[in-house]
Structures are given as structure tokens and as C-alpha cells.
Amino acid sequence: MSFSEQYRSKRITATEAARMVKSGDWIEYGFCLAAPRAFDAALAERGDELSNAHIRTGVTVYPSLAFEADTTGGRFTWNSWHFTGLDRRYAAQGAAYYIPMRFAELPRYVLENQPTDVFVTQAAPMDRHGFFNFGISNSHHYGVIARAKKVIIEVNERFPRVHGGHGHGIHIDQVDHIIEGDNLPLAELPPASISDVDRAIAAQVLAKMTDGDCVQLGIGGMPNALGQMIAQSDLKDLGGHTEMIADSFVDMFQAGRMNGSRKALDRGRIAFTFALGTQKLYDFIDENPFVASYPVDYTNSTEVAGTIDNLVTINNAVEVDLFGQVCAESSGPRQISGTGGQLDFVLAGYRSKGGRSFICLSSTYRDKAGNIKSRILPTITPGGIITDTRSTTMYVVTEYGMFNCKGQTAWQRAEGLIGIAHPQFREELIAQAEAMGIWRRSNKR
């Protein structure tokens, strides 16, 4: 059978696809931008026919009509590998749960630990070789496809076709059913504006960077702002090896800062596993040989990323404590985001020859009541999740300075980290450090 004959024989409607779901099933949605739209809407129409089914996804960017139809969990539980604002809202409403994940390991989880009944992902239309491309959201898809009982592709003509690497698409032979979706626009996440705090932090990180460094930027406003500042610097020959590609990578390329010419691995290309930004980014990665989409167990593997010389990893955090523990994903036990690839890149940045890992955070945070709180704390807020253990943390940077935790004693860490806290909180932090027995008489106040 030709590819087009196979296509026709596998094509069904979203309603027909949704009817294949049974109560109790585990349904995995494509990661981030690849989550299905028409299928999700059709699943919502199943109403009370379904009970105790489970939707699994990550970095949710589209509201789920299926879950929102009944947030009590009677029809579906919502399970996310990485929380966004939407996941936080779902969790606050009821049956939505975080799935602890170190991102580099995710393909193995779905191969070994989490069965999948139905996998549905958006992808670009089939090409003349019979491939559907989801390189914009490569992640762990190859693993889910290998184990899912049913694989359904929802075609979206707006999807870019992204070069790999590998794992960036699926051949029609492996597809059970095809839905032609509604070709809805991809979600956009515009970069946050650059604040004075971002500028002060970027200035310190930039002072530690040299020509030819290979850059990873984490999720969140601050890493993207730093990327924009790197684009405005005079650095040259930078490389990109990251998990998430965001608009600032386009800025770094277009400003002539990034060409990947000094990378030994994927020379002349930015390696990444998923994209999230604006249409500017989606147009940039479309058919562009400068980018290479890979599964996350390649991009985030410390054995892979750690072999890249001069790897500079820049990630954000919610809190850092005086021991050097980093919480980047929760506020007490309330899940904000996830471990994602942060620990992967903190480890890889240190392993890399000439590498550096930076945890960048504003020294303070304004809570919902408008109170200013220190992000540098005696201990992580009770119930808070440790994303990076103290022995893995390297540089911590605030607008007040930078401290390298590696090799430092408990009292040196207390002194160094209090030294980069907001001045308003330093006396209180010293008193707490004394009470915890990690403040030495000779420490500078």
C-alpha cells in the first residue's frame, strides 16, 4: 500500500478516536505544544460514559476541555510531568497531580513504569516519505510510542517541520489512526520584560562567560531574560545545547552571537528537546538545519551534555537555603512547576570541562498579600521540594552577588549565601544561622 493509501485507511474523526477510550485507560497527550486539541474536545463530549480514566501530560499550554468538564476526578484524573499555571489551577480545583520526574529519565519511565493505553499527539502533516513530524516536542515520545497500545496522530498544518537529531517524528507504519485536527494556532509564551534585577544578575553571569561557551537556558522568565542579555553582549561563537528552546535562542543567533562552530557535539546546530515561545521561534525552527531536535534522554543526559566543553547552564529557583539546597519547583508542598531538567543540567554543567552551572534568582519575592519575602532562607520552606541537593549546587546568583557553593563548608556557605541575600534580611538570616550552628565567629556580617 502506498503512503497515501495507508493514510486514507487510517484516517478517522476525532469523535471516533475519542470513542476508543475506555474507563480506566491511561491516555498520554503529546508533550507541551503537541497536546491534542480536537481529540481532547471530542473526549469532553463523552460525558459520563467514562469513569476513572487518566490523562497524563506535561508543560500544559492548552486548557483541557476533557478534564475541565469534570474536575472532581470522576471521569479523569489529570497527571502532569511538569506543572504550568494551568496545571496549578487544575490541582487547586481537585483531581490533578504532579508526577515526580527527572526529565532525562522520562523515556525510561514510560517504557518501564507507566503503561499507556492511548497516545495522542499533534504533528505536522505526513511528508512524502510517510513521516509525521513532532520535532517541536520530541521529549519522550519515542518511548510512549514503543509501548502504547494505540497511537493516534492529530495533524496540524501549522506545526513546523523540525530537523533531528532523532525521535522527532513517526512513520505511518507505526501509526494506528490519524485525525485531521482544526489547525489551531500553537500556544505562545512571550518573553518576560527584562527587569533591573535581571540586568544585575546577567552582568555577573556574562562576566563569567567566554567566547565559544555552549549555553543551556532553563524555563521561566529569568533564564530567557538572560538569553536576551547574552544576545546584546559581544560574546561570539556560542553554542546551544538545551532542553527547552525559547525565543532568546533566536535572538542569540540573529545577533550573531551563536553559531555552534566550536561545539564538538552537534557542531553548528542547537540541540534541544522541546520548544516553547512565540511564533518567531516556531518560524525559526521550521525546516532550519541549524536546529536539531532530540529525545530528552539525549539532550539532558549528563553523559551527553556533560561531555560538551564549556557548558554554561542557567536556571531559576524559587528558594535557596543556607546549606545550598535549591527548591525550584514548589512553595512548601504546593507544586509550582517541576524538577524538569534542572538537576540534569546542574550536574552536566559541573561535569563539563570548563563548565559552569548558575542558579539565578531575585533575592526577594512579593507574596500575594504584597509582602516582600527573602528567597534566601535558613531552610527551604517546610514541605518544599529539594530540586538540587546541596552537594550538586554550584553558582548561586542574585542581584547582590554570586557565590560558588562547591567545596565550601557549612559556615562558608552560610556566610556566602547571606552575603548575596537582600540586605534587609541579612541580620535575621545570621541569627538563624547561629541558631542552626552554621555560623562561625569569624564570619563577615
Ligand X SMILES: CC(=O)SCCNC(=O)CCNC(=O)[C@H](O)C(C)(C)COP(=O)(O)OP(=O)(O)OC[C@H]1O[C@@H](n2cnc3c(N)ncnc32)[C@H](O)[C@@H]1OP(=O)(O)O
Specify the amino acid at residue 159: F
How far apart are CB 225 and ligand CCCC(=O)O at their closest, in Å?
A: 16
Q: Return the residue of 25, 243, 247, 415 that touches ligand CCCC(=O)O, per CB under 6 A.
A: 243
Binding residues for ligand CCCC(=O)O restricted to 80-99, rule: CB under 6 A: 82
Q: Is 188 a catalytic residue?
A: no
Q: Which of 154, 243, 319, 399 is catalytic?
A: 243
Instruction: Report residue 365 as a C-alpha cell.
Output: 519575592
Question: What residue ranges in 337-431 does DSSP mark as E strands?
Answer: 356-360, 364-366, 372-374, 376-377, 395-398, 401-404
Instruction: Report residue 342 as a C-alpha cell.
Output: 534542572
Chain position whose Cβ is nearest to ligand CCCC(=O)O: 340
How far apart are CB 32 and ligand CCCC(=O)O at their closest, in Å?
A: 7
Question: Is 340 a binder of ligand CCCC(=O)O (CB under 6 A)?
Answer: yes
Question: Is 341 a binder of ligand CCCC(=O)O (CB under 6 A)?
Answer: yes
How far apart are CB 409 and ligand X at their closest, in Å?
A: 26
Interface residues toward ligand X, by CB under 6 A:
85, 88, 216, 218-221, 242-244, 315-319, 328-329, 331, 336-338, 340-342, 345, 365, 375
Contact 274, 139 (CB under 8 A): yes
Helices of type H across 127-254: 141-147, 196-207, 221-231, 247-254
Q: What residue 329 binds from ligand X, ligand CCCC(=O)O, none (CB within 5 to 8 A, per partner kind)?
A: ligand X
Q: Which residues are annotated as part of the binding site?
A: 218-222, 318, 341
Across the strands, what pairs with 214? 239, 311
How far apart are CB 249 and ligand X at their closest, in Å?
A: 11
Q: Identify which of 399, 322, 313, 321 has the alpha carbon closest to the alpha carbon of residue 359.
A: 313
Q: Which residues are annotated as part of the binding site for CoA?
A: 218-222, 318, 341
CA 52 to chain centre: 28
CA atoms within 13 A on the CB side of 110: 32
Contact 180, 14 (CB under 8 A): no
Question: Is 189 a binder of ligand CCCC(=O)O (CB under 6 A)?
Answer: no
Write the CB contacts of 415 (distance below 8 Å, at least 6 apart in sequence).
439, 440, 443, 444
Identity of the residue, 101 or 179, whose beta carbon is nearer to ligand CCCC(=O)O in the bound complex:
101
Q: Which residues are catalytic?
A: 243
Q: Which residues bind ligand CCCC(=O)O (CB under 6 A)?
A: 58-59, 82, 103, 218-219, 243-244, 338, 340-342
